[in-house]
Structure 1
Amino acid sequence: MKQKWLILTLVSILACAPMTANLDAWATDRKGFQKSPSTKLAPKKRKTTLPSSGKSSKGQKVKPNLPVQTGFFIPPGANTLGTHAALYAAYASDVGALSINTIQSGPALTLATERVARHLNSDRLALGIVAYGAAWAATNDQFVTEVRKLDAQIGREALITKLRTEIAFARTLRGGEQAAQTAARALTADAKSIQNQSSGFKQAAYDWQKLRWAMASTMDAKVRNNALRKLTPPAPVTETALALSALPEATLGPQTTQARTIAISDSVRLASQAARDGVVLSEPIRAWSPIDRMVSLAALSALGGPIDRKEDTEALMRDPRLVSCVNSSRLNMQMCNAATKQPYERSYCLAEHPLGEIAICMAKTVR
């Protein structure tokens, strides 16, 4: 009996030997696969895909860095709301000045890219977008009048506290919904204009592959990326900050709705009044959105809050989602730029991040 069991055991061992060898071989291959430098697992986050010219280029890693922190200067006579709106006006001006036809060399493209991308190196651009929308919301005279009536009833301090703690409150006042829609149309129209610029430079990334200067490989990606990360956002233009600080206050003389509209339109020329009027809001503006912050800021402006309540004003301007969106655009731009070797690729980076992503950030304020 014992001999029979010994024989069966020996047969089983011999039968399993090939299987064990196969498993060992599979494990060895799998270990080699994991260590192979040519094999990468799919990233969890979406990666930027540069337009292909039939040639491959190896990207460089970029370490995330914090936004450039610079002193924030408020020009004499201006307030924090108007000054932040002027920051957005500066970004809009640089976007509007972009011209594909004037770019005929790699250095010219680098300069155009840096001029727009520098605005991303501070989260105050996100605050500027909200401040700009608030300036438009403040053009609704019925809303401004209603805010001042409520101020007389419950007192300035109580009203400011309510605006801070209940972001959606201001939109419930008479004229509040109209003020919200005015801001939403202005931001949507500007976002479409920025997106048009983005589409133009994205197409150029393909068209320029026919040009020698755009196909010339360079090895200066690291230098360009370091320069991009160190760019300082421009200071707000004093005249623009003053013009936007006067809304809806009458410190510079009585102003009608038309005068306010002209002042804002002169500061930001990305979209025409006809384009703003033509925007159709397909869905209701969601509650507790950045648009609600803009309406609350317009109410605060009607009380003179941006002049003596800087902390309250900045708190209302700082929408976490919008700040995160702008910061994401900055990091994506740095990673995209670091991966480029040829100028036409940099056109794609410009289109995709400091233009396209910011346009998306602005469009999302409504939804």
Structure 2
Amino acid sequence: MNSIRTIGAIVIAMGMALGASAQEGQPEEKKTGDAISKSAAVYATYQSEVTDVKTKPLGSAGDIDNALNSLGGHNPDQLSQGWISYSALIASQDAEYRAAVRDIADFYGRDAMMNGLANDVRYARTLSGGDNAVSAALAATEADSRRLSSAAAFVKEQAYSLQASGWAKAKIGNSGAKATTLDKIQKAGIPASQPLVNAFSAADIDGVLVQAGVPGAPSLWDNVSGAASAVRFPVAVTSGLKLNRKRVKYGKEPIADQIATLAAFRVMGAEAATPAQMSSAMSERETRGCMNMANLNLQQCVAAANQQYEVPFCIGEHALADVGKCIGGVYQ
């Protein structure tokens, strides 16, 4: 307890000073709602579309177009923020970390704690349980990254098997127009599915998230489909798991720090952070840039395609495998 308070005193004292000067003369910002859960639902929506394409082979040109737009149409800002938010939700389940955040908030006050978190993104991960909390998030990321790699292989294989189908050998026509349409969808982004928004806002979601962060557990999304009328999360798995703790890859510490900061915001409560503080913690340049490059490569691949069966390769390589690499580059 004393060590927690000692660490907290340094950063929070600085945060109080900086926060006070920044707030002078500024109108009070309206507190955000459950922005973390809503953002995570965007990532969940993408993963639900992955489930659909993994469980139903492409059977027509329409199926290919639907897969292209639903998997490749996500906005990189929104999708990267969704992944960070989902990671933070999992990190926020660590009991030791939750206790440390609440202990300091109770001792120094919520406003001082929030200022400390906002003014030093490295601070949150130094709290007791911070590394373990982030490790749980990285365990879930590893499962998701492997899932995307598997889905990519399944879709790309169809670029070869579909060559035996007459409809798949048909000329695309104006592939440049298809790429332009995709670009417009990407700029707008795909909104979160309402059932998934509801699921992530439900009172019992924490029990699901705890299991998702167990090392060796399967991806949370394997039973979550965009076509389903209701969300079915997998049954908790507690045995037969490889308990290898995930570590942050060298050079990726800033991403881990943001996950821990956003997790602390979540522990503090939906009304603790302002919209500006939430946005800052969610926005991560490296992952966003990686996903943006995946989108650009997807557009170029589609624009160069001549026949229908060529497009599944583009989807598998850039809308699935590349995204898996973007999130998978954080852990080791």
Report the TM-score, using the length of structure 1 for normalisation.
0.69
Deviation at 1:191, TM superposition (A): 1.0
Of 338, 349, 363, 2:303 maps to 338
**Unaligned segments of structure 2, at least 5 residues:** 1-31, 224-233
Of 217, 233, 255, 2:189 maps to 233
Q: For residue 222 of structure 2, what is the aligned residue in structure 1?
A: 270
Q: For residue 37 of structure 1, what is the aligned residue in structure 2?
A: none
Q: For residue 50 of structure 1, what is the aligned residue in structure 2?
A: none
Q: For residue 173 of structure 2, what is the aligned residue in structure 1?
A: 219
CA distance in 1, matches of 2:330, 2:73: 22
1:79–1:307 contact (8 Å) kept in structure 2: no
Q: For residue 112 of structure 1, what is the aligned residue in structure 2?
A: 67
* Consecutive aligned runs of 4 or more in structure 1 exceeding 4 Å deviation: 262-265, 271-277, 281-287, 305-308
Whether 2:111 is the aligned partner of 1:157: answer yes
Larger-gyration structure (1/2): 1
Specify whether residues 101 and 240 from structure 1 end up closer, same or farther in structure 2 by C-alpha distance, changes over 3 A only. closer
Whether 2:40 is the aligned partner of 1:85: answer yes
Of 201, 210, 214, 1:261 maps to 210
Per-residue CA deviations over 1:281-304 (Å, capped at 9, x if unaligned) read 565554633222111111111112
- Letter of the 1:108 counterpart: D
Specify whether residues 316 and 135 from structure 1 end up closer, same or farther in structure 2 by C-alpha distance, changes over 3 A only. same
Specify whether residues 308 and 100 from structure 1 end up closer, same or farther in structure 2 by C-alpha distance, changes over 3 A only. closer
Deviation at 1:177, TM superposition (A): 1.5
Q: For residue 130 of structure 2, what is the aligned residue in structure 1?
A: 176
CA distance in 2, matches of 1:243, 1:111: 24
- Letter of the 2:97 counterpart: F
Q: For residue 200 of structure 2, what is the aligned residue in structure 1?
A: 244
* Structure 1 stretch displaced more, 295-304 or 270-279: 270-279
2:265–2:273 contact (8 Å) kept in structure 1: no
- Letter of the 2:48 counterpart: S
1:133–1:291 contact (8 Å) kept in structure 2: no
2:42–2:79 contact (8 Å) kept in structure 1: yes
Deviation at 1:170, TM superposition (A): 1.6
Specify whether residues 268 and 233 from structure 1 end up closer, same or farther in structure 2 by C-alpha distance, changes over 3 A only. farther
Of 139, 151, 173, 2:93 maps to 139
Of 256, 267, 272, 1:291 maps to 256
CA distance in 1, matches of 2:208, 2:307: 48
| Cα RMSD (Å) | 3.0
Percent pairwise identity: 25
Specify whether residues 259 and 274 from structure 1 end up closer, same or farther in structure 2 by C-alpha distance, changes over 3 A only. closer
Specify whether residues 320 and 277 from structure 1 end up closer, same or farther in structure 2 by C-alpha distance, changes over 3 A only. farther
Per-residue CA deviations over 1:331-352 (Å, capped at 9, x if unaligned) read 1111111000111210110011
CA distance in 2, matches of 1:115, 1:87: 12
Of 117, 125, 144, 1:190 maps to 144
Specify whether residues 242 and 158 from structure 1 end up closer, same or farther in structure 2 by C-alpha distance, changes over 3 A only. farther
Specify whether residues 239 and 207 from structure 1 end up closer, same or farther in structure 2 by C-alpha distance, changes over 3 A only. closer
Q: For residue 49 of structure 2, what is the aligned residue in structure 1?
A: 94
Alignment length (residue pairs): 282
2:33–2:270 contact (8 Å) kept in structure 1: no
Whether 2:293 is the aligned partner of 1:328: answer yes
Report the TM-score, using the length of structure 2 for normalisation.
0.75
- Letter of the 2:261 counterpart: S
